[in-house]
Amino acid sequence: MDHAGRRRRLASRLDDLQAGAFLVTRLPNVRYLTGFTGSNGQLILTSNDGIFLTDSRYMEQARRELPDLRRDKYSVEFASRVFQACKELGADRVAFEASGVSYKLYSDLLATGIELVPTTDEIETLRRVKEADELKAVEAAQAIADQAFEAIVGEFFAGVTEREMALDLDTAMRRLGADGLAFQTILAFGESSAEPHHAPSDRPLALGDVVKLDFGCVIDGYHSDMTRTVSFGEPPAELRDIYEIVRTAQQLGVDSARPGMSGGDLDEVVRNVIKEAGYGDQFGHGLGHGVGLEIHEAPWLRSGGKDVLDPGTVVTVEPGIYLEGVGGIRIEDMVALTPDGCRVLASTTKELLVL
């Protein structure tokens, strides 16, 4: 991946920001700009130089992963080391990520005499459009999710718990080569599926339950995200009807997604189908979100959202209908925007599977 090119693009923003350096502290952004995969690292970037900072645990790892950057370590006084680094780089006015600096660190940095310039989404904006290698990693993570679903979908039986099946699904993804889980797997039976983000419990599976599975994994730092809802035996008639409403709405979202439209416009297209079916109040969350180095990142697909979809962005399309005490249906695909539409990354069927 072209980390140096990414740093150059960020550095080109310094004049507009009226800053001599950019302090990057959010780990996903540090990874995007440097390739560093450890849990503690920061980057100070100028128009023609940069210093990567970490602690002694990661110096050898940084040497391997960041051979083209100057590297240095610090112990406890991070703010003073930032001040020293900025002095070495000839920068006294420093841009920083407003969402990545705590109030304490902000206060400590100010106390050193550095002039601080808050920024919002400078690096996140660069990350929206995926490069070929990034898209390849997202596709690899999605392929594992598809294979894991196929591996466990026939393993459900009466009496098995949500927690047990979630563990089986997580284990399947790891056995298939995932570096880790994209997030805590959501696996819900029956009435629990009416909770959009249900944590697996000891609730046992019973005949007639719908089963909602929302899961994904990580490959080379990049995430996958997919939701499928199946049924263990014949589901209640209303949930079968709702399934078809959600499937129709979700497919319309996939078919309608195209570059240049806003996330709000696509949300409205899908939401109108559910509203017209009489379930508008039961679809409370946004239609979707970007996926990449973070499981939730820009662009956002939600009511009134202004984020524009560009070719190369990867977003989820995930409408749902949730009936308290009865159950819920959600269907979710990641799609990659192409010059004239989008491409679905998942291969798992969206027909209702009755197990």
- What is the per-residue pLDDT across 248-300, written as a single tens digit (0 to 9) for each? 999 999 999 999 999 999 999 999 999 999 999 999 999 999 999 999 999 99
Percent of the chain predicted with pLDDT > 90: 99
pLDDT in tens, 47-102: 999 999 999 999 999 999 999 999 999 887 899 999 999 999 999 999 999 999 99
161 DSSP 8-state letter: B
For Cα atoms 320, 326, 328, give the angle at the middle one, nearest 5 degrees: 15
pLDDT in tens, 200-211: 999 999 999 999
Show Cβ contacts of residue 178 under 8 Å, excluding neighbours closer than 6 positions. Answer: 141, 144, 217, 218, 219
* Least confident window among 32-46, 73-87, 131-145, 305-319: 73-87
pLDDT at position 137 is 98
Residue 38 near residue 58 (C-beta atoms within 8 A): yes
pLDDT at position 77 is 86
pLDDT at position 99 is 95
Phi, psi of 104 (to 5 degrees): -65, -50
Strand, coil or helix: 244: helix
Residue 2 near residue 75 (C-beta atoms within 8 A): no
pLDDT at position 193 is 98
Residue 352 near residue 240 (C-beta atoms within 8 A): yes
Please state, in angstroms and rounded to a whole number, the distance separating the CA atoms of residues 130 and 133.
8
pLDDT at position 250 is 98
Tokens matching residue 122 = 């400078």
Please report, for residues 157, 158, 192, the alpha-carbon distance to residue 205 in angstroms, rounded to integers and kept in the order given: 7, 5, 11
pLDDT interval class at 174 (50, 70, 90): very high
Q: Is the dihedral of CA 210, 211, 214, 216 positive or negative?
A: negative
Q: What element of type H or E holds 54?
A: strand 50-54
How are strands ordered across the β-sheet holding 210-215? 186-189, 210-215, 226-231
Please state, in angstroms and rounded to a whole number, the distance separating the CA atoms of residues 168 and 217.
14
Mean pLDDT on 8-22: 97
Tokens matching residue 26 = 């959010």
Mean pLDDT on 311-326: 98
Q: Is the dihedral of CA 109, 114, 119, 122 positive or negative?
A: negative
Please state, in angstroms and rounded to a whole number, the distance separating the CA atoms of residues 4 and 179.
25
pLDDT at position 340 is 94
pLDDT at position 265 is 98
| Mean per-residue pLDDT over the chain, rounded | 97
**Start-to-end CA span in the chain (Å):** 42
Sort strands 222-223 and 217-219 into parallel, antiparallel or unpaired. antiparallel
Q: What element of type H or E holds 299?
A: strand 297-301
Residue 150 near residue 126 (C-beta atoms within 8 A): no
Burial of 235 (0-12, 13-18, 19+ CB in 10 A): buried
Please state, in angstroms and rounded to a whole number, the distance separating the CA atoms of residues 148 and 146.
5
Tokens matching residue 63 = 């040497």
pLDDT at position 76 is 73
- What's this model's pTM, rounded to 2 decimal places? 0.95
Please state, in angstroms and rounded to a whole number, the distance separating the CA atoms of residues 177 and 147.
11
Q: What element of type H or E holds 167?
A: helix 162-175
Residue 211 near residue 188 (C-beta atoms within 8 A): yes
Strand, coil or helix: 111: helix
